[in-house]
């Protein structure tokens, strides 16, 4: 624990929530003619203000999220729990460095600064092959990955190590809200692996290798779902405490066959569990809700900018976070 109380941290977060883009600004952004017009509106609203040299929406989003990360890390009453949302940044950095080694290119300029592991320490650990200061499972996965030459296998090994670190942290550092959230994330990973594997007609062994030992779904049921038709998936994947939501999502998939839509709906469901606790003055809910809201906001801005830069997309009505 950091010595900071939850009521104090939540009070700070409530002040920061004023920086979320409101409905009126979303409307103006939606009506903006192009990306430069979006940038002007964002600057008028002090979005990404720490990155004064930003020339693209993507750069402004990166600047804004960097500021959010600094805020979260400075006021977190329990860094062990908030760090769970930054380990994926470590996974990204590790994979970039390992793939750089694989293709003999310096990839340091591509690293993200917001992970749990300090970037300089990570670079030194991999360079010196000394992983004593890294989380043990992550350190072992890096060591094992150095013997591999398949980028897919490297990614899978690193991602799995990060997921195990998150899962095991919640076993020793229990939090009901975050356990619920990450159970949905783990289920999402497994459901998507099965849907993609089935769609691509991968052999069962390859799909099983992608499944993660975590979440609410029964491992035996997940194995039975491999190779089944879309309408048979309900029996094996719409189970456990979230069965009703999973069934509705899978029913939609059986009609449209859009895996990215399943991913988006499961992410929305996981977020909803956090959002429901946004007003808890004595818990982590408001802190994580703000972090996720800002990340979702940034993702929507990037999509909007990309669509404005592609005239062929202008004919289709798009939905952004501000429209919900």
Q: Give the percent of the chain with pLDDT over 70.
A: 94
What's the confidence (pLDDT) of residue 51? Answer: 66
Residue 228 and residue 208: Cα distance in Å, rounded? Answer: 14
Q: Binning pLDDT at 50, 70 and 90, where does residue 53 land? A: confident
Single pTM value for the model: 0.93
Mean pLDDT, residues 54-72 taken together? 94
Does the pLDDT of residue 147 top 90, yes or no?
Answer: yes
Residue 6 and residue 279: Cα distance in Å, rounded? Answer: 12
Query: DSSP secondary structure string, 44-98?
Result: HTTTTTT-TT--SHHHHHHHHHHHHHHHHHHH-S-HHHHGGGTHHHHHHHHHHHH
CB 187 within 8 A of CB 242: yes
What's the confidence (pLDDT) of residue 58? Answer: 95
Element (H, E) at 106: none
Name 224's Cβ contacts closer than 8 Å, sequence gap at least 6: 236
Q: Which of 159-163, 228-232, 279-283 has the lowest average pLDDT?
A: 228-232
Mean pLDDT, residues 91-113 taken together? 95
Residue 286: name the closest of 5, 3, 14 by CA: 14
For the chain, which residues make up each domain, given as ranges? Answer: 6-76+303-323, 79-172, 177-275
CB 177 within 8 A of CB 274: yes
Mean pLDDT, residues 214-228 taken together? 97
Mean pLDDT, residues 73-82 taken together? 97
Q: Binning pLDDT at 50, 70 and 90, where does residue 119 land? A: very high
Residue 73 and residue 107: Cα distance in Å, rounded? Answer: 26
Residue 222: name the closest of 199, 240, 249, 241 by CA: 240
Name 2's Cβ contacts closer than 8 Å, sequence gap at least 6: 76, 77, 78, 79
Q: Give the percent of the chain with pLDDT over 90.
A: 92
Mean pLDDT, residues 142-170 taken together? 96
Q: Is 282 helix (H, G, I), strand (E, B) or coil?
A: coil
Residue 308 and residue 169: Cα distance in Å, rounded? Answer: 42
Does the pLDDT of residue 315 top 50, yes or no?
Answer: no
Query: DSSP secondary structure string, 164-204?
Result: HHHHHHHHHS--HHHHHHHHHHHHHHHHHHHHHHHHTT--H
Q: Binning pLDDT at 50, 70 and 90, where does residue 1 land? A: low
Q: Is 274 helix (H, G, I), strand (E, B) or coil?
A: helix
What's the confidence (pLDDT) of residue 323? Answer: 42
Mean pLDDT, residues 99-106 taken together? 94
Q: Is 298 helix (H, G, I), strand (E, B) or coil?
A: helix
Over residues 161-207, the pLDDT tens digits come to: 999 999 999 999 999 999 999 999 999 999 999 999 999 999 999 99
What's the confidence (pLDDT) of residue 55? Answer: 85
Query: DSSP secondary structure string, 202-257?
Result: --HHHHHHH--S-SSS-HHHHHHHTT--GGGTHHHHS-GGGHHHHHHHHHHHHHH-
What's the confidence (pLDDT) of residue 261? Answer: 98
Does the pLDDT of residue 289 top 70, yes or no?
Answer: yes
Angle, in degrees to the nearest 10, between helices 176-199 and 259-275: 180
Q: Binning pLDDT at 50, 70 and 90, where does residue 324 land? A: very low
Residue 194 and residue 200: Cα distance in Å, rounded? Answer: 10
Q: Binning pLDDT at 50, 70 and 90, where does residue 17 land? A: very high
């Amino acid at each position: 624990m950091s010595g900071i109380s939850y009521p104090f941290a939540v009070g700070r977060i409530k002040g920061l929530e004023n920086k979320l883009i409101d409905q009126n600004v979303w409307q103006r952004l939606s009506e903006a003619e192009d990306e430069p017009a979006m940038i002007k509106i964002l600057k008028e609203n002090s979005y990404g203000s720490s990155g004064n040299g930003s020339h693209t929406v993507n750069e402004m989003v990166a600047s804004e999220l960097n500021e959010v990360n600094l805020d979260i890390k400075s006021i977190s009453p329990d860094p062990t729990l908030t760090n769970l949302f930054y380990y994926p940044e470590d996974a990204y950095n590790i994979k970039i460095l390992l793939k750089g080694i694989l293709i003999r290119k310096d990839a340091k300029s591509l690293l993200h600064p917001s992970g749990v592991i300090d970037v300089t320490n990570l670079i030194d650990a991999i360079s010196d092959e000394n992983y004593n200061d890294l989380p043990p499972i992550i350190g072992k996965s890096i060591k094992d990955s150095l013997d591999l030459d398949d980028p897919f296998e490297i990614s899978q090994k690193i991602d799995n190590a990060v997921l195990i670190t998150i899962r095991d942290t919640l076993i020793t550092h229990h939090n009901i809200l975050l356990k619920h959230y990450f159970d949905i994330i783990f289920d999402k990973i497994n459901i998507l692996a099965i849907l993609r594997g089935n769609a691509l007609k991968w052999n069962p062994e390859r799909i099983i290798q992608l499944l993660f030992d975590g979440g609410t779904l029964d491992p035996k049921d997940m194995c039975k779902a491999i190779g089944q038709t879309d309408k048979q998936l309900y029996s094996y994947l719409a189970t456990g405490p979230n069965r009703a939501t999973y069934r509705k999502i899978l029913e939609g998939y059986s009609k449209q066959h859009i895996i990215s839509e399943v991913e988006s709906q499961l992410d929305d469901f996981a977020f909803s569990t956090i959002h429901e606790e946004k007003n808890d003055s004595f818990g982590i809910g408001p802190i994580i809700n703000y972090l996720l809201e800002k990340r979702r906001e940034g993702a929507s801005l990037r999509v909007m900018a990309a669509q404005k830069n592609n005239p062929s997309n202008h004919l289709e009505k798009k939905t952004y976070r501000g429209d919900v």
